[in-house]
Amino acid sequence: MTSIPGCHLACVCLGLMSISIPPSDAAQLTLAENGRTAYRIVVGDDAIEPERTAAKELKTWLEQVTGATFMVNGAGAGPRILVGPSAEARRLAADVDWDALGKEGTVQKTAGRDLVLAGGRPRGTLYAVYSFLEDTVGCRWWNATESDIPKRPTLQVPALDETYVPPFRYRLTWNYENHDKPRLRARQKINSGEQIGPIPEAYGGSETIINDGHGLGKMITAEEYFEDHPEWFRYSRKEGRRVRGEDTHPVHCYTNEALRRETARVVIGLLEEHASRSNVIDVSLADSGSMCECDPCIALRRRESSESGVLVHFVNGIAEEVEAHDPDATLTFLAYWTSNKPPRFVRPRRNVVPRVATMDKRHDRSVRDYKLQRRYIEKWSGISRELFIWDYAVNFHDYLLPHPNLSAFNDTLRFYEEQKVTSIFIQAPHDIVGDFPSLRMYLQTKLMWNPRLDGRAIIEQFMRGFYGAAAPYLLSYVDLLEKAARRDGVLLSCYHRGTYHWFRPDDIDQATLLWDQAANAVRDDEVRDRRVRRARLPMDMVWLNRHRMLKRRAHDRGQAFRGPEDPYRATEQYIRTAQSFGANSSSEGSGFERVIPGLMSRYPRPGRVPRRCQDLHPARWEDIQDNMFELGFEGGWTQNFQHYPKAELARIVDDPSASDGRAARMPGGHRKEAIRYLVGREMTGRWHVYVVGRIEAAEPKEMAFIAGIYHKEDIGEIARIIPAHDPARTKGYETHYLGVHDLLRGAEIWVTPPEDETIEAVCIDRMFLIHDGAEGR
C-alpha cells in the first residue's frame, strides 16, 4: 500500500461556474479563433496509454467545440497544449510537486502561451483533461447518452494554475446509468467497481478490492468447509449446534484459531494470485444480522461491547500473518449492521482498514448531523489508520418513489474526508426512472472527486443545463421535498414502502403544481420535455400510491383535486412512459416488470357507474372491477375444488353485458372462493358492500352463488349471502347487498359458485362500496 496523499488544494480551484472568461486578462490563451487554431496537442514519447487517450479526447472535444482542427504531435513552432507529465511539461510546471500527485492528482497550468494538462499515473492526465473540458471549456456529460457540448469557434481560456489531489482514492457510486459505461465513468472520475464493468487500461483501469463485498463468505464457504469443520461456523444457542447457514452468506465463529489460520492461508494465496491488480483484500462478515453464540465469541463480544470487537481480533490475527508475507497488503472488513459499533478496547492493526457501512443514518441530512453514526465513525477513525465507507443513498424497497436526499451528500462527504476516509462507495438506486437518477449520479461523482465543491451549485448547474426553462420549478420541487423530509421526528432511511410518513397532502399538491409549471415551461422543447417527463415519474407514482386517500381528502375539505381523474388510465400511462425510458428495476433485486401486475390491479378499469352511485361524488364510493380480483388463489376456507384445475376455477372473460365489458367467470360446479378482493390500507372504513353477478342457468335456482366477507386474523366471518336466481324475473346482472360493515385492512370480499353442475357459470362483473353516510343509497 502506498502512502495516501492528502488533499492539496494548492492553487485556485476553478469551481464549477468558472467558464466565464475575464475580458482583458493578459495571461489568457486563445485556443481557437473563428474556427481556426494555432495550437497543437503534444504528447510525450513516453506517454502511457491513458495519457494517449487523454490527448485523443482533448482533440475530439476541442474540435467539436471550436470547429478547428487540433493536430496531435504535428511539427511546428506554434503554441502547444502539453498532455501528460513529459519532461517538457515538467519543465514548464517546475513548481509542481509531481511526486505528490499519486495515481490521479491533476495539473492544469498555463505557461506563456502553452497549456499543460497532466497528472499522476495512471489516471491524473486523463482527469486533468476532463476537468479542463468541463470546468473551463464548458462541456457537460450529463449521463451516458446526453451531453451539452458548447459551440465556441473562438475559445479563450484564462490563466490556469491548479494542482489537485482527490482525498478519496477509491470512488464508486452504483447507478444504473454508468453501469458498463467505462468511458462515462472515466469522465466522472469513478475509478473502481469491477462489479459494474471493468474500466479498460486505456481509460486508466480500476482500483480493485479483492473479494469486494462480504469477502469472508466467499473465501470460507459452507459448501467447502462445513462438513469437515462445523466448529468454524456459527453456534446457535437456540438450536444447541453449529449452523451451516445460507450458502451465500455463512456466519463464522471468529474466535476459532484454526479458522483464522485457514483464512490467513486463503488470503495470502489470493493476494499472490491478484498481485498485479491489487493488494487490498476484503475479509468482511456475511450479509446477515446473526452472529456466533459460542461461549468464547459471547465473552469477547461482552468485553468489547460490540460484535466488531470479535471481528477486529479475528482480522488482526489474519493481518499479522499476512504482514509477514506482504508488508504492503491491506485487509478491510465491513463495520456493518451488527458490527457497525466500534469495539471498546481492541484497535485495528496498521494493515487493517475498517469499512464503515452507514446503513443506520438519516438520508435527509449529513451523517455529521446524525449523532449515532457520527460517533461510530469518529471512534473508528480515531482508532484506525484510515477508513473506508460504504454509504447508502437509496430506498431499497422502492426505487420508483422520490427519495429527497440530494443536499445531504455535500457535507456528508466533507465529514468523511475529515475522518480520514480514503474510499467511498455510494449505493444508489439502480434504476432509470426513479428520483432524478442522472442528477444523482452527476452530483455524487463530482462530490466524490472533490467534496469541497459546492453541491448546491452542482445541482443548479445540472438543473439549468439539463432541464432548461423547467429548472427553477424543479429546484423548488427538490427544496420542497427536502424540507418535507426534514420535519421533526421524520426519518428518511433505506427502507420505505410509500411516502406516507413524510410527504403530506399539501406538499403533494404544491409539488404537483411545480411539475405542471415545469412541463409548461419546456412544452416547445422536445428534448427537455422528454427529460421532464422522465423526471416526473416518481411524482406520478406518489399519486398512484395515494390516489384514493387524496381524492377523499380533497372532497372532504372542498379543495381542488390535483391528481389524475382516472387512476387506472393513469397507471397504464405511467407504465407505458416508464417502459419507453427503459425502466429496469423497481426495488433491490426486482425488475420493473414484476411490479406491473400489482400496479394494474390497484384501480378499477373504468366501467358504467352503478345506478346507486350515479348521484354520488366519486370520492364517496369505490368500484372494485374484475381487474382487482384475486383469482383461484391458494388457501381460503374451502378446498373442494380438486376436480377443477386451478386456472379454471375463475377466469377473466369478455362479457358485453358487464359494466366494463369484462367479468370473472367461474364454472358452477365447484365451491372454492375463487374470487376475492383484499381490502388494502386505502379502502379501510365503514362501507355498504355490493356484489354484481349473474348466472348462466336455464332453470330457477335456489342458490345462485355464495358471497361473503371474511377477515382471517381479526374477526373471522363477517357477512354471507346466498342469492336465488329466477330466469323468468331477471336477465343479466343483478346487484346484491352484503350489508354495511367496518372493513379493516386484510378483510376479503369473496364469491364462490354453489357447487351445482347444472349452473353453466357464475359471472361476477364487479363489487362496489358506498361510504356509510353517503347520500343516495
Identify which range of 160-168, 290-298, 668-676, 755-763 contacts Zn ion by CB under 5 A.
290-298
Q: Which is nearer to Zn ion, 237 or 501 (CB)?
A: 237
Question: Is residue 32 within a helix (H) or strand (E), and if so which, with residue range?
Answer: strand 29-32
Q: Which three cell numbers stand for residue 348?
A: 485495528
Identify which range of 78-86, 275-283, 295-303, 317-325 contacts Zn ion by CB under 5 A.
295-303
Torsion angles phi and psi, residue 255, rounded to 5: -90, 0
Q: Which of 616, 738, 596, 757 is nearest to 677 (CA)?
A: 738
Q: Which is nearer to Zn ion, 68 or 297 (CB)?
A: 297
Check: CB of residue 669 under 8 Å from CB of residue 712: no
Cβ 246 to Zn ion shortest distance, Å: 18
Report the 10 Å Cβ neighbour count for 91. 11
Identify which range of 297-305, 423-431, 445-453, 651-659 contacts Zn ion by CB under 5 A.
297-305
Report the 10 Å Cβ neighbour count for 40. 19
Establish if 294 lies at the interface with Zn ion (CB under 5 A): yes
Identify which range of 249-257, 330-338, 345-353, 649-657 contacts Zn ion by CB under 5 A.
249-257
Q: Which is nearer to Zn ion, 93 or 251 (CB)?
A: 251
Cβ 253 to Zn ion shortest distance, Å: 3
Cβ 256 to Zn ion shortest distance, Å: 6
Q: Which of 499, 462, 498 is nearest to 484 (CA)?
A: 499
Identify which range of 66-74, 246-254, 317-325, 517-525 contacts Zn ion by CB under 5 A.
246-254
Establish if 251 lies at the interface with Zn ion (CB under 5 A): no
Q: Which is nearer to Zn ion, 292 or 769 (CB)?
A: 292
Cβ 348 to Zn ion shortest distance, Å: 20
Check: CB of residue 142 under 8 Å from CB of residue 148: yes
Cβ 356 to Zn ion shortest distance, Å: 23
Q: Which residues of 164-202 are buried (b: 16+ CB within 10 A; e: fewer)?
A: bbbbbbbbbbbbbbbbebbbbbbbbbbbbbeebeebeeb
Ranges within 687-726 binding Zn ion (CB under 5 A)? none
Establish if 253 lies at the interface with Zn ion (CB under 5 A): yes
Identify which range of 31-39, 293-301, 532-540, 688-696 contacts Zn ion by CB under 5 A.
293-301
Check: CB of residue 317 under 8 Å from CB of residue 333: no
Cβ 293 to Zn ion shortest distance, Å: 7
Q: Which is nearer to Zn ion, 290 or 584 (CB)?
A: 290
- Say how far apart CA 509 and CA 140 lie, in whole Å: 33
Q: Which is nearer to Zn ion, 222 or 393 (CB)?
A: 222
Q: Measured at the alpha carbon of residue 613, what is the angle toward residues 612 and 618, in degrees to the nearest 5?
A: 170
Cβ 361 to Zn ion shortest distance, Å: 29
Cβ 229 to Zn ion shortest distance, Å: 12
Establish if 300 lies at the interface with Zn ion (CB under 5 A): no
Q: Which is nearer to Zn ion, 236 or 684 (CB)?
A: 236
Identify which range of 13-21, 194-202, 257-265, 286-294 contacts Zn ion by CB under 5 A.
286-294
Q: List C-alpha distances in Å: 99 to 7, 120, 165, 470.
A: 14, 8, 11, 46
Ranges within 170-199 binding Zn ion (CB under 5 A)? none
Size of the site for Zn ion (CB under 5 A): 5
Q: Which is nearer to Zn ion, 208 or 306 (CB)?
A: 306
Identify which range of 14-22, 172-180, 288-296, 762-770 contacts Zn ion by CB under 5 A.
288-296
Cβ 308 to Zn ion shortest distance, Å: 15
Torsion angles phi and psi, residue 667, rounded to 5: -65, 145
- Say how far apart CA 244 and CA 225 lie, in whole Å: 9
Q: Which is nearer to Zn ion, 157 or 310 (CB)?
A: 310
What's the first-to-final CA gap in the chain, in angstroms?
78
Q: Which long-range contacts (CB under 8 A, 24 or more apart) does 519-527 make?
A: 519/470, 521/468, 521/469, 521/470, 521/473, 522/467, 522/468, 522/469, 522/470, 525/468, 525/469
Taking only Cα atoms into account, the Rg of the chain, rounded to an integer number of angstroms, comes to 32
Q: Which is nearer to Zn ion, 291 or 679 (CB)?
A: 291
Cβ 309 to Zn ion shortest distance, Å: 13
Q: Which of 387, 456, 443, 439 is nearest to 415 (CA)?
A: 387
Q: Which positions ≥6 away from 504 have C-beta within 8 Å?
A: 484
Q: Which is nearer to Zn ion, 240 or 589 (CB)?
A: 240
Q: Which of 515, 552, 488, 571 is nearest to 402 (CA)?
A: 515
Q: Which is nearer to Zn ion, 318 or 764 (CB)?
A: 318
Cβ 234 to Zn ion shortest distance, Å: 7
Paired sense of beta strands 585-587 and 590-591, if any: antiparallel
Identify which range of 152-160, 190-198, 294-302, 596-604 contacts Zn ion by CB under 5 A.
294-302
- Say how far apart CA 270 and CA 219 lie, in whole Å: 9
Cβ 244 to Zn ion shortest distance, Å: 14
Cβ 265 to Zn ion shortest distance, Å: 20
Establish if 285 lies at the interface with Zn ion (CB under 5 A): no
Of positions 58, 264, 297, 537, contacts Zn ion by CB under 5 A = 297
Q: Which three cell numbers stand for residue 109?
A: 497550468
Identify which range of 13-21, 284-292, 362-370, 562-570 contacts Zn ion by CB under 5 A.
284-292
Q: Which is nearer to Zn ion, 256 or 284 (CB)?
A: 256
Q: Which is nearer to Zn ion, 136 or 263 (CB)?
A: 263
Q: Which three cell numbers stand for residue 39?
A: 495550437
Cβ 288 to Zn ion shortest distance, Å: 14
Q: Which is nearer to Zn ion, 313 or 531 (CB)?
A: 313
Q: Which residues of 609-626 are buried (b: 16+ CB within 10 A; e: fewer)?
A: ebebbeebeebbbbbbbb
Identify which range of 247-255, 492-500, 749-757, 762-770 contacts Zn ion by CB under 5 A.
247-255
- Say how far apart CA 301 and CA 308 lie, in whole Å: 8
Establish if 292 lies at the interface with Zn ion (CB under 5 A): yes
Cβ 542 to Zn ion shortest distance, Å: 47
Query: What are the residues binding Zn ion (CB under 5 A)?
Result: 253, 255, 292, 294, 297
